[in-house]
Amino acid sequence: MTQMRAEIRLPTAELREDLPFFTKVLKMQLDMIYPADNPEVAVLSGHGLRLRIQKGATEAPGTLRILTEDPDGFADGQRSLIAPNGTRVEIDELNPPLVLPATEHAFVVRRLADQAPWVIGRAGMHYRDLVPSRLGGAMIASHIRIPDGGPVPDMVHFHKVGFQLIFCIKGWVDVVYEDQGPKIRLTAGDCFIQPPEIRHRVLEASDGIEVIEIGVPADHVTEIDHAMTLPTPHLRPEREWQGQRFVHNQGAKGAFAPFRIPGFEARDTTINANTKGLASVMVARPTGPAPWTLHEGDILFTFVMSGQMTLEGEGKDAFRLSPGDAFVIPPGLATRYSDATEDLELLEVSLPGNPVTIKV
């Protein structure tokens, strides 16, 4: 196999001034230097990087970012440095803590008929944003579709996220997960909870597959894991990732029980139990007239999967909702689900799970 290597070239006016900085302060090793009598080029490596510092090079000095588990101890606590050749160096956390922004509560209604744009995202999937404000960065809700089925050009990856739900509303999709055995087929009415940083890969989907994906917080990192091969050899259904277990809930096996809102019943996807109360995911349907209620949770998101209803909010315009519509109800706002058709079916996601609900 042909050997190859890559270098980033940086300029210098005087190489002897740069070498102590890059070797002692940045802790890189010197791999090559020439000519011996009056050096003009030095090649250094370290931290997964290879640099060629060359006298008279025409490039701008640029910026280097060094990520470390001990940023305060790496360069005597300095987080921003300037090398003698002008290169800016930033020292930062290798694994920064996940930041969960405070929720900016709002009453949000997003209707499919309003023609919210679809955008092409990762792996060729189409995304429709269901909560444009993202509640100040607290959460993201996406309606995702793959128009043409078949193999999905995905790689083994994971998300640095606090909570993530995939709920299938149409078609099917095959996904393989770390320590969860061979590929799993998610069909309409089923859902996955993807615990933080669980490795997974989307394999294949049916024509017209549609899912709802909820992520907390809204902005989170997706990383590719080039080292892991899925499926992994061990089946470990009891494994936890940051206190959460993987869930594959099958809608066809669910049982309905009274819902938090009178006049509705719901099936529990077991996500509340498997996230230790972090979130709950319920599928609700009407059984009779519903009263005005308010909740005392934080985030309460609902997607209309089938049927119709009127959403009334105290001091708000009423909205007649149909399949594909979504809404967010802030805590303390009295609302009522009225004039529901018999085939109404709602997907409700709440954080924390099972919020206290008061009849008003």
Would you say residue 279 has pLDDT above 70?
Answer: yes
pTM over 0.85: yes
Residue 108 lies in a domain: no
Read off the pLDDT of residues 302-311 as tens digits, 9 standing for 90 and up: 999 999 999 9
Spatial distance between the Cα atoms of 174 and 190, rounded to a whole number of angstroms: 12
Query: Is the model's pLDDT at 57 over the cut of 70?
Result: yes
pLDDT of amino acid 120? 77
Asked if residue 121 and residue 69 are part of one domain, the reply reads: no
Residue 106 lies in a domain: no
Same-domain status, 18 and 32 = yes
Give the per-residue pLDDT at 114: 83
Separation between Cα atoms, residue 236 and residue 219, nearest integer Å:
29
Mark whether 276 and 242 lie in a shared domain. Answer: no
Residue 80 has pLDDT above 70, yes or no: yes
pLDDT at position 119 over 90: no
Residue 78 neighbours by CB distance under 10 Å: 12
Residues 69 and 144 in one domain: no
8 Å CB contact between 218 and 134: yes
Q: Taking 80 as the threshold, does the pLDDT of residue 42 lie above it?
A: yes
**Region 76-92: what's the mean pLDDT?**
95
Q: What is the pLDDT of residues 189-240, one digit of tens each?
A: 999 999 999 999 999 999 989 999 999 999 999 999 999 999 999 999 999 9
C-alpha span between 274 and 278 (Å, rounded) = 9
CA–CA distance from 219 to each of 235, 299, 355 (Å)? 31, 16, 24
> Are both 74 and 12 inside the same structural domain?
yes
What mean pLDDT, rounded, does the chain reach?
94
Average pLDDT score over residue span 274-286: 97
Note whether residue 187 is domain-resident: yes
Q: Is the pLDDT of residue 146 over 90?
A: no
The answer on pLDDT for 106 being more than 80 is: yes
Assign residue 325 the CATH number of its domain.
2.60.120.10
pLDDT at 122: 63
pLDDT at 37 > cutoff 90: no
Measured CA to CA, the distance from residue 205 to residue 300 in angstroms comes to 29
**Which of 252, 273, 308 finishes a domain?**
252
Q: Does some domain include residue 28?
A: yes
- 214 and 150: one domain? yes
Given pLDDT bands bounded at 50, 70 and 90, which one contains residue 118? confident
Number of structural domains in the chain = 3
Domain hosting residue 37, numbered range: 8-93
Q: Is the pLDDT of residue 124 over 70?
A: no
Structure tokens at 281: 């995911």
Using the 3D structure, point to which of 27, 59, 93 is the last residue of a domain: 93
